[in-house]
Amino acid sequence: MAEVVKMPKMSDTMTEGVIAKWHKKVGDKVNSGDLIAEVETDKATMDFESYQEGTLLYIGPKEGEAIAVDAVIAVLGEEGEDYKALLEGGDAPKQEAKEDKAEPAKEESTEEDSTSSVSAEDLDCTVITMPLLSDTMTEGVIAQWNFKVGDTIKSDDAIADVETDKATMEVTAYAEGTLLYVGVEAGQAAKVNDIIAIVGPAGTDVTPLLNQKPKSSTKADKAEAPKAEAKAESAAPAASSSSNDDSRVKASPLARKIAKEKGINLNDVKGSAEGGRVVKKDVESFVPSAAPKAAEATSAPATETKTISLPQYVGEEKYTEQNVSQMRKTIARRLGESLFTAPHFYLTVSIDMDNAIAARAQINTVAPVKVSFNDIVIKAVAVALKQHPAVNSSWQGDKIRFNEHTNIGVAMAVEDGLLVPVVRFADGKSLSHISAEVKDFAGKAKTKKLTPADWEGSTFTVSNLGMFGIDEFTSIINSPDGAILSVGAIQQVPVVKDGAVVPGNIMKLTLGCDHRVVDGATGAAFLQTLKGLLEAPIRLLA
């Protein structure tokens, strides 16, 4: 009896999957445990093994297509068995229905329909799309191609390096044949699931596969063209109707400034640059007509009365621009979402670090790796969170998640922006263990070798700018965490101890809280516990 195969839920956050590659085709015999497809989830590309046996009667989504979790992607059964009744429930994609209705409604659309009916399988080709390489990735930049059109590709070859919002990763072909098409040049970006390459038999014409996509966009472009022309035509009379207003004249900022100082209307100046743009030399060489004689007459007496003559200083306004990296795009999007979604409030406390300084010096005489003050803060935060689970929480919309484990995200500055690798179960690790792990993360972050497993799953974040001499600051919460700790520098200041003013070492901590899950008193109680641990660090070793 025929059985449907559904898209499995391969991670806790997965809502849909993309068929990266089919390893079986319709008519193949499938045994339990056989690899039938590779599925791109929101976390990684995973192998999908069959738990059923039979002949593959039907394949729903094509390679590169996304389909929701629990939707039908294939049907297994006896060879020649009628399976269409299983698809009538509506779970499977309606591709066969579309094929049944393939009759052209108009003579003009016949060629288009025949082109769109050609699939990669028909040409024995494999379409390689931009994979989803991290949970926050929406597009990737091709850092470099490792092969060129015409090269022979093996299934395990890394055909390209892709720069994501987190790191630079390799894209594996998962196909054998000749590289027939490259859709994105090195340095250019492509959206997730966009076609970036096609692999197949040498000499195959892949034009039918490429022509399926841009048809609708071409029509849209044609529809937009008249609108743009109409706008241009309507703008022309408006500009010509006001000869005194030169704000619409194409001119460089320097030329506009000089013209303003000399009282020259740019409408009267003929531009020599590309497109008639007015530049500095055009304004300086401009000779006014006889019309402004009256203006000259009125200005002459004023010139005679001047007693101080200041030389004219002309500066040049200039700047440089660079494309926004994938990492910076994601930082802007995620922090914007956090700041404008989560109602932030901040609490600041001063810590006496004298005992911590003495303890660190003693620890580093015996520790296998050098322990930093940041390592001590991470350990103290993890221990304090176990006593205040409300701070170790996150907003889930219709519920609040109280995490019983302590995974501490450590904010690290890199060349392109900011990464937050996670020290997992930090409360149970020694200071030396935490120090070694953080140093390893820092090295990977600088060389862009961090993997998604390194930066996912934080429950609380620590951001330290003390090494830059920053006294105190506030941070934007690293969503979905419910709080973030900002660590300032240790400052030598006068303090009062036992009624006397003595030198002291003070460090300021600022706790940023999501008010949806953490109240003021809750955050304050957490800071009190953290303050006690840092001022008596022997408690961290108990």
Task: Tell me the catalytic residues.
Answer: 515, 519
Kindly provide the residue ranges of all beta strands, DSSP E only, lying in 360-446, ordered along the sequence: 393-395, 400-402, 408-410, 412-414, 417-419, 422-423
Q: What is the 3-state secondary structure (H, E, C) of 229-272?
A: HHHHHHHHHHHHCCCCCCCCCCECHHHHHHHHHHCCCHHHCCCC
Give the Å distances, CA to CA, from 143 to 160, 184, 187, 272, 462. 7, 10, 6, 39, 31
The runs of H, that is alpha helices, within 484-539 are 520-535
How far is Cα 120 from Cα 5, in angstroms, rounded to an integer? 22
The closest alpha carbon to 132, from 15, 18, 11, 6, belongs to 18
* Nearest to 541, CA basis, from 311, 375, 329, 305: 375
Distance CA 198, CA 183 (A): 8
Strand duo 408-410 + 460-464: pairing: parallel
d(CA 375, CA 379): 6
Distance CA 138, CA 132 (A): 8
Task: List C-alpha distances in Å: 491 to 6, 370, 466, 495, 512.
Answer: 60, 21, 9, 11, 21
Nearest to 142 by CA among 126, 128, 152: 128
**Pairwise CA distance, residues 255 & 348, whole Å:** 51
Question: Number of H helices and number of E strands within the chain?
Answer: 14, 26
d(CA 464, CA 426): 17
Question: How far is the CA of 150 from the CAs of 144, 160, 177, 180, 181, in angstroms?
Answer: 17, 15, 10, 6, 8
The CA-to-CA distance between both ends of the chain, in Å, stands at 64
Alpha-carbon span 385 to 404, nearest angstrom:
9
| Alpha-carbon span 149 to 198, nearest angstrom | 9
In angstroms, the CA 384 to CA 486 distance is 15
| Residues whose CB is less than 8 angstroms from the CB of residue 451 and which lie 6 or more positions away in sequence, other chains included | 167
* Residue of 182, 471, 128, 478 lying closest to 334 (CA atoms): 478
Distance CA 481, CA 461 (A): 7
